[in-house]
Structure 1
Amino acid sequence: MTNTLNVWIAESESWQSFIDFQLPVTKQAEYTFLPNIDYFYISVMNNALNIIEDEIISAEAQKECLALAKALEIFSLENKRDHFSGINRELNMLFTAGLYYLSDYPSSSWILSNLYPPNMYSENIQIFISCFLSRKLDRKNIYCRYLIEYLKTGDIQQIESLIMAFKKKAEYYFGENIIIYFSYSLGLSLMKKFSKNNLWHDLLVQNDNKSFWKPFIKRNIDKAFPIWTFFPSQREALDKGILTNNTTTLQMPTSSGKSSLNELIIYNECKTNSEAKILYLAPFRALASELKNSIAKDLSSLGIKSKTIYGGNFPTPDEQKSISEVNLLIATPEKFLVFENSIPESLKEFSLVICDEGHLLEDRQRGLSYELLLTRLKSRKQSSIRFVFISAIVPNLGIINTWLGGVENSSIHSDYRPTHLDFAFLEEMRGKKRGYYLDVNPTLKYPQRYKLYKYLFDEELVLTQPGKKKKIDTNAGRSVAVSLKAIKSGNVALFAPHKRGNIGVEYLVKEALSQLSYYEENPLIKFASEEFLNNLVSYFSKIFGKEYLLTKSIAQGFLFHHGDFPQGIREIIEDSLRNGYIRLVICTNTLAEGVNLPIKTMVLHSIDRFNPKLPTKYEPIQLRDLKNLIGRAGKETKGLIIIPNKKDFERIKLLIKDNNYEPIKGALYNLVKELTDIIVKERILLSDETIEEADESIQKLIDSIDLSIVDLLSEEFDITDFEKLIKDLLVATLSYTQLNTEEKNTLNSLFEIRGEKIKSLIQNGNFKYLKKSGATYRLFIEINDKIDFQDEIWQKQLDPLDTDWLSYILDTVLFNLDQYETELEEFLENNKKLQLCNDDIKEVIKMWIKGNWYSEISAGLKIEVYQSLRLINSFLSFNVHRMISTIIKIAEIRIEDNLLPNSILVWPSLLQFGLSNELQLDILNMGLIDREAVLGLSSALYGAGYRHSDYESLREYLVANGNQLISQMDSNIPNISLEKINSFISVLQNRFLL
């Protein structure tokens, strides 16, 4: 292509953004391609014709093809096409979508081709191309019938017949009809590419057995978004042996086909061995939940049974039973470790372990469990386990691969993204009037780098209403204004690193509400129906109250998302965005925890994170984490990352350059490094005495060391080999290979000192109790010293709110634990505006189990809703729940002669989820996680005369009578919860989802 054409194509991309953001028309004259639009279009078409006449294989040819596609799309897209005349929009879009497909962007091709359905074309070849690209084949079309047969049978002769036919037709129409000639040439190029790049072709290369792959291919072509081909990243993984028996590590960007690839890996494993057991580790609860509703559902249609487990400290009876019945177990690492500790004999059968979001090996909260679990699994001698380790960003992928036992060529790295990302810096304009422009692609040269002037300008920076005025002159104000402007082009996520504070989510929410109050017409509410908004307002009002920020924000057409919300609320927010009901979400990184959402633009309010240990109190977010975060952006053909604050520009430039990413360290490495730094700084000589006398910050680190030793050990081993076993397992961790000599000495000393503590429990027979309890050594010793497990209350069948039980488990037991006092003090210190005593905690527990919501609890304690959220979802559901679960688990295994009453065994779960009986708990464990829905369905069951006996009977009753129950639901149940119940009943009727 000529230099002029290259400039014009780059300008056309800039012009698209200009139109999307509805910038002042006075700046349109600066686009030089517009006065030459006819010549521009003819040049692009000529180049397109030339390029499709040859096979588009090289990276350079694909890059040119993509540029031509981007140039053509403006003539057919809404809001842009009306600027041009004399061009057939339908045919132009057909050619555009075809070029996107040939450039290896099939998703973009599918989206664009569906904008103009096949019935808008007159020629058979054009109808066929439209059907092919939109994946909606029509048997009435003669060419489609060949493709239908090929997709059904894998008979390559069908495609070869099309290639021959199109070649002859193209030769015939050459010189006769340029449009039809171009159509057949495009069809020929598409079929040549498709013949060597489709599911049948690529899978038969792996295993030349059509009957083996037929169910999998049929399932994929029947999906709502039909899959006929693999992405380049997926093909590379296939070529490098992802389906072999080798351990494999894979780095591929977000949204580049990881889920489909995992489906294929699981299908291949189960098809090869019908008795196969696969463990899918998902470090986030949100990811585990999404996998249950995506991969697990898809695989169920192929006869593959699955179970998803996350949350709770100990396995439920249903979870224990179902493990032996499934092929696929989806679990968080923490939950799987609980299973290993409780029922190790049933978990030795896994032959394949998929490690998703592998970069979280370093995560402070989740990483230790992840690293120790993988160390345990890979150290097993009973069976050979194959690992598939997947992450969007692992700079030291080869080291991870070697650690897990992979061979030299089994480490796979792909940079392919199905959508392109642009970056833009918000810069201040010079002049008398205040204004800002977007400097797009600031690290590139003209014309790829361009400026969108007057992005925010004049009246957009001074909002007015009769009698009041608001200036947009703060960082938060600019971030919100930028986001509200960006909704014109698609969904927007405004990222903040914290929940509260002046760089926090809720601060930005208040700013957004303030700015929207000045708008004559709210631009956000038009994307959702009035019914949807009213349903959510009603739902959130019941849970949080009318004055809570989330209730106020949805009334204005946007939502926010952070870690204080329970999983059910998070999913409602995610579904609202996914289904196109809202255009703006303000969020922390919780929204990016493994969940794929349609975000067109991401605005980064700040890339600094609070760290009280530093003199400055803030530190930059790691580039690796930022890379993973921005990977969530990109919808249709491209995404945009906007950085509104100048202080972040230089660090973002490092991110754009795509290097200098921090390597992944094991979580144990970070733990030991922190301890070593403290030991050196404070000149501590490690010994049993100095550890016992250390302050709480060090004690917490020691707790993690103790847990590491316990988690690395199996329940039964020869005590004479204790020291050697500990050393061998320690050396087998990822962290040990990454520590320097001084840090290794620290770790060895700690394991030796703390190992003696653990060894004493082995010698007196208490180790098995510690192992099964999941407690730290410190908590285990305190519980055993302070609690009388012979008290008669342990044998009573009790109501969950029984006065004697609450007095015993809370007043006598929990409130007298040093660990509880320490954790309550820490919680109150981190929430300085809260002043609570044990009586308050007890009252909250009673209200929560009775079914009260955050709004009612806040009113009862005279605290803010956000405080009750943190109190319940953090302190009660994590700290208190963990300690009480541990106490009851120790009681269960200590009192061997008599089984504990079920009312006591389930009490920690009733506390965690705010439920009052076993019926509600069984409903929740079946998969209905919306608490309001659980309460409503249990009430309907009692109203229908159902008497609860056990989990399986309940499941059978719901499958048989679920639809009738829904029709008899209380009219006070929110519509959102009714929809959740409907979906829940539908899932229950699928016998392959347990």
Structure 2
Amino acid sequence: QQRPDKPCRRSGWSSWTRLYHLGQGRRGFVLESRLTLLQARRDIRLVLLSAAVGNKGDIASWLDPERPEREVYFTDTWRGPRRMHGLMYPNLMAERAELTERQPTAKHASPVLATVPVETLFDVRPTASSSIARLTTGEVGTRRFAGSAGQWNAQTRLAGGITDYKVFAAGAAELTTSGSVLMVVGTRRAARDTALAIAERLPERPEAAALTDYLTETLGAEHPLVRCTLHGVAYHHGALPEDVLHAVEGALRRGELLAIASTSTLTDGVNLPVRTVIVHHKVDGDPLTYDGQRTLSPAELLNAIGRAGRAGRESEGWIFLTRPYPPRASEFDSLNPDPEQLRVVSALLTSEALIALADAEDTLRQDADGVFALADNIAADFASFVWLVLQLHASSSAPQSNPMDGLDALFALSQAGSGQNTSRWLALADQVATVFETTDPTLTGRWAATGTSLGSARYLDWLANQLAVLLNRHAVESATEDDLLIAEPEEWQLQPTLDFLTEHQVFDRLLEHVPEVTRTWSFKDKETRGTQMNVPIAPALREWISGTTIPDLARSWQPGVAAGWALEQAVRNISTAFGHALSWTVGALINLVNTSPALSPGAPRLNTYIAWHIRHGVDTEQALTLLTSGITSRRIAHLLGRDAARLGHRAAGLRQWTAEHHINGWTQKYGANDYEVQDLLDYVRTPSDLINQLLDNYAAITPLSLLAAGTADGPVDVTRPSEHHPTIRVDRARRKVATVPADRHLDVLAMLDSGLDLDHRLHDGQLVTTRRAR
């Protein structure tokens, strides 16, 4: 928001993925608004779009309306290995039912109790023209009904018995014998419950032990994800910490995990091909979908299907759509959406957006605060975008056109038959423009820069000015003669900034007054029918930034709450509040404070990195450098960062200082586990391209560390790392004479794994590797 011109300033090209999100709610409008701004850049010559869309021509014409669509886009529909489609559903094994007597009730009058075994059935169609084959798992559980055969249905079903998701979890467990399985579900809770149900069907998996150890240390032994990974199963959703998601994704790629249950965040944002994809999620057109229920669009479904089949490893992938009833053959068609079903419309023209627009129109008629009362929906996002467009026009060095002309590039306005609805959106834009024109120009840019709703931006700016006055007062009260000689104002370190924000209840104010933050911090004493708990955010934030582990945070914030539930809540709140909403809004607030016209030149400035400290949960700039340079483990970044800060190592020399510890130092001093060691090796790596050197020149040179004194030049052996010796050793006569340094470890390992026939010798303290000619 502060630099909307920054994307592709130099490159002249832009790449965008998942373009089908254009029609999907608020994130769809974010994508549309950014592509709209991009069209103002006449130097952009190439736009790369990855999308399962049926109206590519419409999008091409939108991005470049001056040329015929056939001149604008090239498309390729290649999708990797062939796919086998199937439908998965529960089936009552009526021939094995047990009938006994029961006491009739008002709800169920039948005196017969039927206990019926349930199996998971797979209807499989290898190709569109193939006949359907039927496979079964055998019995996976039972269900009870009041009545004899022919009377078993939802109305006569009794409590207890196996649920649908457990039937499908049993099917997923069965399919793991043929390769990895991804099960796409509708909610975060469903992802957890489904993964646990799959795990119950599988034995413990030694290959996932390293992942389990890492998650135990990171999340706590009682966290449900740890119970899953013991059996080679995991779940994945947006409320889990980034380092945990990174570890889970890596374990699936390496084959350590057999199955993963995920919301659509995994299929949308991460390329993780598996053998089998099971879609246990309502899809567009599903007759059992209730009003307001989230469904997968045909494009999202096609994107999930695209994860089935690992190119280069398998000849086909399997896709199953779950059904809670015996399906019709026509339901296979859901897995092959046609171009019309894949047609993308603007998010502004969806039914949900038009409902939000109607609410906004009512608000503008009734609320004196006008556009500043719009919050937490796509209408508020649209108003903020209009404000940004107007601000960009007003701040242009040579504004020429009508300031509202920038809205003409919206995708919504290019779609035929949408005139009535787009007129309503433009009427809202006119009201925003009226407010913009009557607002002090010194404020319009400040509000545009926050990226929040206009009401939140106005509140943040008001709060920033209040804080600026307090900083001025602090400057006067603490001033000394030396301060008068300082040309630049002081920027406070992290802790004084936290003290100041806490003293003036800034975090509590954001929770209370900024809709983007309000619902991101909440706790209950139990998952089902729980009572709301009060967990003060300011001390909780301090604990988080201090590097306190998640298990310790869960115990501190929720004493007396069951460990598993406390851990889940801690993780969710850290992700939604600290990882997203609070770090974003605090960052915007700090920028407004430090640039406030009310702030005197001699007043201190607040720490400009505090948003990053809130997001990542560390308290040194060195740890931030590590976490924004490829290290994903908060724990290892916190420990290394504190040591580096204590010893005076700044960011510029942090990579070399980290490398000097080598693997032995990382493991012995900081307790680094396998995942952290791999991240650290990637971070300290100095690319040396040894294999190409060998192929081109028949020789490659590697510097060495810890070279034994007096070691003469001559032949040596290079020993691969092992469990007891994690470094790459250079040996002579079975005695170590040197070690490959950490920054060369990965390249030397790749060279040893290349299959080339190699000789090694020492020369002038360096390792010279030559390739034998064949």
With normalisation by structure 1, the TM-score equals: 0.56
Amino acid at match of 2:335: I
Summarize the Cα distance change of 1:905–1:972 in structure 2 as closer, same or farther, 3 Å threshold.
same
Q: 1:876 aligns with which of 548, 556, 578?
A: 578
C-alpha deviations, 1:651-676, integer Å up to 9, x for none? Answer: 85332343142421233444xx6464
Q: 1:457 aligns with which of 122, 138, 163?
A: 138
Amino acid at match of 1:743: N
Cα offset, 1:632, TM superposition: 0.8
Does residue 493 (structure 1) correspond to residue 493 (structure 2)? The answer is no
Cα offset, 1:755, TM superposition: 1.4
Does residue 398 (structure 1) correspond to residue 57 (structure 2)? The answer is yes
Q: 2:402 aligns with which of 691, 702, 725?
A: 725
Q: 1:350 aligns with which of 11, 14, 39?
A: 11
Tell me, in whole angstroms, the C-alpha distance in 1 between the residues paired with 2:602 and 2:609.
Answer: 13
Residue 224 of structure 2 corresponds to 549
Cα offset, 1:363, TM superposition: 3.6
What does residue range 706-717 of structure 1 map to in structure 2 within 5 Å? 706-713=383-390, 715=392, 717=394
Summarize the Cα distance change of 1:969–1:757 in structure 2 as closer, same or farther, 3 Å threshold.
farther
Is this contact kept in 2: 1:966–1:982, CA < 8 A? no
C-alpha deviations, 1:721-760, integer Å up to 9, x for none? Answer: 9895333111111122237232122111111111122233
Tell me, in whole angstroms, the C-alpha distance in 2 between the residues paired with 1:514 and 1:377.
Answer: 50
Summarize the Cα distance change of 1:385–1:871 in structure 2 as closer, same or farther, 3 Å threshold.
same
Tell me, in whole angstroms, the C-alpha distance in 2 between the residues paired with 1:767 and 1:697.
Answer: 17
Q: 1:653 aligns with which of 309, 332, 335?
A: 332
What does residue range 677-696 of structure 1 map to in structure 2 within 5 Å? 677=355, 684=361, 687=364, 690=367, 692=369
Summarize the Cα distance change of 1:986–1:721 in structure 2 as closer, same or farther, 3 Å threshold.
closer
Count of aligned residue pairs for this structure pair:
614
Does residue 562 (structure 1) correspond to residue 237 (structure 2)? The answer is yes
Summarize the Cα distance change of 1:898–1:975 in structure 2 as closer, same or farther, 3 Å threshold.
farther
Cα offset, 1:678, TM superposition: 5.4
Is this contact kept in 2: 1:607–1:648, CA < 8 A? no
Residue 418 of structure 1 corresponds to 80
C-alpha deviations, 1:354-401, integer Å up to 9, x for none? Answer: 222222233434333322222122123xx4312323224111110000
| SS of 1:970 mapped into structure 2 | helix
Is this contact kept in 2: 1:955–1:988, CA < 8 A? no
Structure 1 residues without counterparts, runs of 5 or longer: 1-336, 464-469, 517-521
Residue 548 of structure 2 corresponds to 852
Tell me, in whole angstroms, the C-alpha distance in 2 between the residues paired with 1:806 and 1:868.
Answer: 23
Summarize the Cα distance change of 1:481–1:900 in structure 2 as closer, same or farther, 3 Å threshold.
farther
With normalisation by structure 2, the TM-score equals: 0.71
Residue 952 of structure 1 corresponds to 652
What does residue range 907-986 of structure 1 map to in structure 2 within 5 Å? 907-939=610-642, 941=644, 946-949=647-650, 951-955=651-655, 957-958=657-658, 961=660, 963=662, 966=665, 969-970=668-669, 972-986=671-685
Residue 888 of structure 1 corresponds to 590
Tell me, in whole angstroms, the C-alpha distance in 2 between the residues paired with 1:854 and 1:590.
Answer: 23
Residue 772 of structure 2 corresponds to none
Q: 2:494 aligns with which of 800, 810, 815?
A: 800
Tell me, in whole angstroms, the C-alpha distance in 2 between the residues paired with 1:822 and 1:625.
Answer: 29
What does residue range 402-551 of structure 1 map to in structure 2 within 5 Å? 402-405=61-64, 407-409=68-70, 410-426=72-88, 428=91, 432-433=95-96, 434=117, 435-441=119-125, 444-445=128-129, 448-453=130-135, 455-458=136-139, 460-461=140-141, 473-500=162-189, 504-516=190-202, 522=203, 525=205, 528=207, 533-551=208-226
Residue 788 of structure 1 corresponds to 467
Tell me, in whole angstroms, the C-alpha distance in 1 between the residues paired with 2:221 and 2:360.
Answer: 55
| SS of 1:586 mapped into structure 2 | strand
Is this contact kept in 2: 1:933–1:981, CA < 8 A? no
Cα offset, 1:559, TM superposition: 1.4
Summarize the Cα distance change of 1:369–1:984 in structure 2 as closer, same or farther, 3 Å threshold.
same
What does residue range 664-703 of structure 1 map to in structure 2 within 5 Å? 664-670=344-350, 674=352, 676-677=354-355, 684=361, 687=364, 690=367, 692=369, 700-703=377-380
Cα offset, 1:683, TM superposition: 11
Amino acid at match of 2:52: I
Residue 718 of structure 2 corresponds to none
| SS of 1:418 mapped into structure 2 | coil
Q: 2:608 aligns with which of 896, 905, 921?
A: 905
Residue 70 of structure 1 corresponds to none
RMSD (CA atoms): 3.8
Summarize the Cα distance change of 1:698–1:771 in structure 2 as closer, same or farther, 3 Å threshold.
closer
Greater fraction of residues in strand? 2
Tell me, in whole angstroms, the C-alpha distance in 2 between the residues paired with 1:655 and 1:644.
Answer: 11
Amino acid at match of 2:669: D
Does residue 866 (structure 1) correspond to residue 568 (structure 2)? The answer is yes
Tell me, in whole angstroms, the C-alpha distance in 1 between the residues paired with 2:220 and 2:647.
Answer: 32
Is this contact kept in 2: 1:598–1:634, CA < 8 A? yes
Tell me, in whole angstroms, the C-alpha distance in 2 between the residues paired with 1:885 and 1:481.
Answer: 46
Tell me, in whole angstroms, the C-alpha distance in 2 between the residues paired with 1:953 and 1:512.
Answer: 47
Greater fraction of residues in helix? 1
Tell me, in whole angstroms, the C-alpha distance in 2 between the residues paired with 1:395 and 1:811.
Answer: 53
Summarize the Cα distance change of 1:392–1:607 in structure 2 as closer, same or farther, 3 Å threshold.
same
Q: 1:813 aligns with which of 506, 511, 514?
A: 506
Cα offset, 1:845, TM superposition: 0.2
Does residue 843 (structure 1) correspond to residue 527 (structure 2)? The answer is no
What does residue range 279-290 of structure 1 map to in structure 2 within 5 Å? none
Is this contact kept in 1: 2:237–2:263, CA < 8 A? yes
Tell me, in whole angstroms, the C-alpha distance in 1 between the residues paired with 2:639 and 2:511.
Answer: 39
C-alpha deviations, 1:481-540, integer Å up to 9, x for none? Answer: 10111011111112211111xxx1112133234444xxxxx2x626x2xxxx33322221
Is this contact kept in 2: 1:601–1:640, CA < 8 A? yes
Does residue 627 (structure 1) correspond to residue 326 (structure 2)? The answer is no
Amino acid at match of 1:476: Y
Amino acid at match of 2:178: S
Summarize the Cα distance change of 1:655–1:866 in structure 2 as closer, same or farther, 3 Å threshold.
same
Tell me, in whole angstroms, the C-alpha distance in 2 between the residues paired with 1:718 and 1:385.
Answer: 21
Amino acid at match of 1:816: R
Residue 729 of structure 2 corresponds to none
| SS of 1:620 mapped into structure 2 | coil
Cα offset, 1:564, TM superposition: 0.9
Tell me, in whole angstroms, the C-alpha distance in 2 between the residues paired with 1:814 and 1:872.
Answer: 14
C-alpha deviations, 1:809-866, integer Å up to 9, x for none? Answer: 56433423586464565346897847344x6211210110111222211111225211
Tell me, in whole angstroms, the C-alpha distance in 2 between the residues paired with 1:988 and 1:757.
Answer: 55
Amino acid at match of 1:706: A
Structure 2 residues without counterparts, runs of 5 or longer: 97-116, 144-158, 476-488, 690-742, 744-774
Tell me, in whole angstroms, the C-alpha distance in 1 between the residues paired with 2:493 and 2:687.
Answer: 29
Summarize the Cα distance change of 1:387–1:360 in structure 2 as closer, same or farther, 3 Å threshold.
farther
